[in-house]
Amino acid sequence: MKIIADENIPFVREAFAGFGDVLTVPGRKITPGMVRSADILLVRSVTKADRNLLKNSRLKFVATATTGTDHIDLDYLRREGIGFSNAAGSNANSVAEYVFAALFDLALRFGWTLSDKTLGVIGVGHIGSKVAARARSLGMAVLENDPPLKRETGDPRFLPLKEVLLNADILTWHVPLTFGGIDKTFHLMDAKKLACLKSGSVLINTSRGPVVDNAALKEKLKKAGLQPVVLDVWENEPHIDSELLSLVTIGTPHTAGYSFDAKVNGTRMIYDAVCKFLGREPAWRPEKLVPPPAVPELIIRAGEKRDEEIIQNIIQKVYAIREDDRRLRKITALPEAERGAYFDALRRDYPVRREFSNTRIKLENGRDSVVKKLWALGFRVSA
């Protein structure tokens, strides 16, 4: 059996070697010629697995080590009888932690108290539901929008998008990218909807770049002055708009879901899916291969500092979101022809980032409110 795999899927050789020959390739360089003789194809979001790539192949199974599937032609796979699986929810913790790393960074910078803010969550699936739950545990009011879930459940907590846009102080998107139908999300946030936002609203997009009309957002920021905007995803990746990057508060290279835990979880999930498809018992497990956390424990003397300051100090020791921002901004100094490769390199060579649950916090003189918030964010806490 021959397997073609994106080289940036962690431990892909170790996991799949028992199935046959594993050829690892940069995701953007997987070609129809490579795929033609393969039985299994393992990709990430940078590989467009459509008819052009897959036709005239003998593929039996395609898997993506990502939650999103907008890069996969699911209709073609169904027509050709090719099995498929994604890693739904594999990076949910990672993205949620990114959102709150950004929020605590902004809270400290602008002097906010997060419990005074209303968070609008657009898309309440694997990731959005985690973000909403943690926000509530932090004392934030939460407004949720998810039309498919509203139709399915009838739950009144799912509000119309316009109502959320008009009333939320902070908006965060966690929707799939879809190009048609009643739940189309391509340019869900266009110029008209951007004009509906409360003055000074905070925008966070970690879903897919085209969910927000980047040109419209850029014009809004240029005309209305800077407001807090956090973008992890961009239209036309890896060839992002450097002018838009210069206008946002935090910009990162599509790495919100790139905790090492999330990436390894994605490998495990697609491995299990291939085992199920082939009728095999799973034998590979990654636990012994995962490196120990760089920050297993922190001793924090809380003192009289504000909750936001204490928590931001802890978060940035575990995940310094500003470092991701700093590295991406170097792209503007490069010749235009080199920027796409640099963006991809930032993703390929992303440093190991472990999730909050791998760090124990010993909090000295800490208020109960701080302890509660740290637990809500996923840290392990002891007094």
Judgement on whether residues 19 and 57 belong to the same structural domain of the protein: yes
Active-site entry in 237, 308, 327, 354:
237
Q: Tell me, what CATH number does 52's domain have?
A: 3.40.50.720
Judgement on whether residues 304 and 282 belong to the same structural domain of the protein: no
Residues 6+ apart with CB under 8 A from 249: 106, 226, 228, 229, 230
Number of domains in the chain: 3
Q: In degrees, to the nearest 5, what angle opens at C-alpha 62 toward C-alphas 61 and 63?
A: 125
- pLDDT above 90 coverage of the chain, percent: 93
Judgement on whether residues 231 and 106 belong to the same structural domain of the protein: yes
Q: What is the pLDDT of residue 103?
A: 98
- Phi, psi dihedral angles at 25 (to 5 degrees): -140, 145
**126 noted as active-site residue:** no
The per-residue pLDDT of the chain, averaged, comes to: 96
Active-site entry in 71, 208, 268, 354:
208
pLDDT at residue 354 tops 90: yes
pLDDT tens figures, 73-93: 999 999 999 999 999 999 999
Judgement on whether residues 102 and 220 belong to the same structural domain of the protein: yes
Judgement on whether residues 144 and 276 belong to the same structural domain of the protein: no
Judgement on whether residues 150 and 190 belong to the same structural domain of the protein: yes
Least confident of 2-11, 47-56, 252-261, 288-297: 288-297
Q: What is the pLDDT of residue 365?
A: 80
DSSP 152-178: HH--TTB--HHHHHHH-SEEEE-----
Name the band, by pLDDT with cuts 50, 70 and 90, for residue 375.
Answer: very high
User: Which residues on neighbouring strands pair with residue 25, listed in sequence order?
Assistant: 6
Judgement on whether residues 302 and 365 belong to the same structural domain of the protein: yes
Q: What is the pLDDT of residue 270?
A: 98
C-alpha 66/C-alpha 6 separation (Å) is: 12
pLDDT at residue 245 tops 80: yes
Judgement on whether residues 78 and 109 belong to the same structural domain of the protein: no
**308 noted as active-site residue:** no
**14 noted as active-site residue:** no
Point out the domain boundary residue: 289, 308, 342. 289
Judgement on whether residues 220 and 303 belong to the same structural domain of the protein: no
Least confident of 8-12, 127-131, 198-202, 262-266: 198-202
The 3-state DSSP class for residue 186 equals coil
Active-site entry in 71, 254, 347, 353:
254
Judgement on whether residues 108 and 244 belong to the same structural domain of the protein: yes
Q: Tell me, what CATH number does 303's domain have?
A: 3.30.1370.170
Judgement on whether residues 98 and 244 belong to the same structural domain of the protein: yes
Judgement on whether residues 96 and 192 belong to the same structural domain of the protein: yes
pLDDT tens figures, 198-232: 888 999 999 999 999 999 999 999 998 668 999 99
- Show the domain range for 181: 92-251
Residues 6+ apart with CB under 8 A from 140: 114, 115, 117, 118, 119
Tell me, what DSSP letter sits at residue 237?
Answer: T
- pTM comes to 0.94
Q: What is the pLDDT of residue 303?
A: 80
pLDDT at residue 9 tops 80: yes
